[in-house]
Amino acid sequence: MIDLKKLHFFVAIAEGMHLSRAAEALNISQSALSRQIQSLEDELGFRLFDRIGKRLSLTAEGEDLLPRAARLIEQANALSVRGKSIVNGEVGHLRVGATAQTIASLIAPALTGFRAENPGIEITLAEGPNRSLIEMVERGTVHMAIATPSDPADFGSAPLFVARLLAYLPPKDSRREQAQLPLEALADAPVLLLRRGFMTRDLVDESFRKAGIRPRIVLESDSPHALVAMVAQGHGIAMLSSAASKGIHNFNPVPLTLSGAAISRQVSAIWNPTRHRPAALPRLVRTLAAMAHTWPTAGRG
């Protein structure tokens, strides 16, 4: 394989057709430069220059090679610049996973500012429930996910917000005006839940187990909006996290409690510590955290 450094020397000489000036510009001795060109000619199997006294001229083979060599050098320089930009986090590609609710309420608004400040960073989003997001991080399908792992010690993480469990009550339910609602009050109520795999569902199931309640589940769905639509028609009580509430209007959900305490869970940006973490990722995490902290307290639990 031809040494790019030798090609660089060849191009430098060819541009000025003067060996001593090229040697001075390259900060190399004239004799060393001559040896490098001789070595390149030996590798190629033909002469690059005709030497007439102190004058140089390109051979036909040299003329043919020069533009190609110049393009290679230009591409190599561009590659070096690109590599430095990647290391500095100025360019690159981030793959991020989150639930549909988190994408709508947190990522979408946060990306506006992030992209304005980081135009060289391309971001691809992957949507899924909590368990799928954790698997994506483990497999390396995404560089980062916004999720709640059962064992946080397995991941690198940065806290973003606390998701509080809320109850969406039918229009005629007088408890809609309460400041909070004990989970025990839902013991005999028809409840509307997200499917298993969502962080909110894990929190609901865990809370019902602690309370010793076997819930009356009348609908399991992937869509918070479907659950709330059922509530609006009086078909049950939906249980959703405060993160989902930012995308739902015309409702005033009531915070749920268990034994007098709020039912909540920390939601974090998580990544696999055994895999490569792009240089731009910490900046995105800081942007997401800053956006989450602008949410009203009720929205963050």
How far apart CA 210 and CA 258 sit, in angstroms, is 9
pLDDT of 248 higher than 80: no
> Do 130 and 188 belong to one domain?
yes
Whole-number average pLDDT of the chain: 90
Average pLDDT over residues 225-233: 95
The CATH code of the domain that includes 296 is: 3.40.190.290
Which domain-ending residue is among 55, 87, 119? 87
pLDDT of 299 higher than 50: no
Residue-level pLDDT at 70? 92
Residue-level pLDDT at 272? 96
Residue-level pLDDT at 298? 43
> Do 132 and 239 belong to one domain?
yes
pLDDT of 9 higher than 70: yes
> Do 101 and 73 belong to one domain?
no
Residue-level pLDDT at 21? 82
Residue-level pLDDT at 220? 97
Average pLDDT over residues 227-236: 95
Q: For the ranges 12-16, 106-110, 261-265, which has the lowest average pLDDT?
A: 12-16
Residue-level pLDDT at 186? 95
Average pLDDT over residues 49-76: 88
Residue-level pLDDT at 300? 36
Confidence of residue 297 (pLDDT cuts 50, 70, 90): low
Residue-level pLDDT at 3? 84
Segment 87-119, tens digit of pLDDT: 777 778 999 999 988 998 899 999 999 999 999
Residue-level pLDDT at 56? 84
Residue-level pLDDT at 25? 83
> Do 9 and 152 belong to one domain?
no
Average pLDDT over residues 164-176: 94
**Domain region containing 176:** 92-301
> Do 32 and 103 belong to one domain?
no
Domain total in the chain: 2
Average pLDDT over residues 218-224: 94
The CATH code of the domain that includes 9 is: 1.10.10.10
